Amino acid sequence: MATYQPTPPEKIDALEHVFYEIKMCLDTGTALINYRGPQLLQNVFLESFLVHCRCLIDFFEHPKSQDDDVLHKHYVGTVTIVNIPELDREKLNKDVAHLTYTRNSRDKSVDGWDIGKTLRLIMEPSLIFLQNLSAFTNGTKWENDRLLLVDKIQKTQPIYLTAATTHATGSTPTTSGFRISYGYTAGSPFPVPNVYYHKATSGSEGL
C-alpha cells in the first residue's frame, strides 16, 4: 500500500491526467453506444474504453497502489468503491490487461459488455469527484476544464442511462453485448478501415 503524500503542486499538476482519463472513458463509451462500423475499430474503441475504466477504478479504490500512483484519497481523503459487478471486474483484470488461459472460457460463457451500465458506474463517482474538487482547482488553470467536464458528463447522462436501460430490458439489441472479436473471414485481407479525423480550426478542441 502506498504511503507517499504528494505535495499540493503535485496534486494540481496530476489533475491533467485525471481529467484525461475521465474524458477518454466518457468519449470512448458514448462513441461505442451507437457504433456502426468495422469490427477492428469497435475492438479499438472497446479496449480503449475498458483500459480507461480500469485506470479510474484503481484511482478511486487504489487496491494495490504504488507510491507514485495518483489516488482519489489524495484529494478527498477517502476511498470510493465503484459498484462494478464482480464478473466484470474479473474480465477487466484477466481479459483486458493480461493474457490468460481462462480468457477463452469467459469469451464463450458470458455476455458482452453493457457499455451504458459500465459507463454509468464509472461516471457516477467521477462526477461527484469533479463537483467536490473546486477547493483544489479554484484560481488554477484547471478550474475551467473541471467545469467543462462536469457539464459534459451531465449532458451525456441521458445517452448512457438510456443505453443501460435498453440493455437490461433487451428492447434495443444494438446497445448490448459488445465484445472483442478475434476472427476475420478466411481468405480475406486483414481489414484496414478508412479512418477520418477532424482537425480543429479554432484555437482549442475543448472538452
Q: What is the DSSP string of 122-155?
A: HHHHHHHHHHT-HHHHTTSTTHHHHHHHHHHHHH
The residue assigned the cell 479525423 is: 197
* pLDDT for position 20: 98
When mean pLDDT is compared across 11-20, 119-128, 174-183, the lowest value belongs to 174-183
- Whether 116 and 103 have beta carbons less than 8 Å apart is answered as no
Crossing angle for the helix pair 39-61 and 115-131, nearest 10 degrees? 40
Distance CA 171, CA 108 (A): 23
Ordered by start, the domain boundaries in the chain are 8-175
* pLDDT for position 165: 64
Q: Span 166-181, mean pLDDT?
A: 51
* pLDDT for position 5: 87
Q: What would the pLDDT profile of 42-91 be if each residue is shown by its tens digit?
A: 889 999 999 999 999 999 998 777 788 999 999 998 889 999 999 889 88
Q: Span 112-130, mean pLDDT?
A: 94
Q: Span 95-124, mean pLDDT?
A: 81
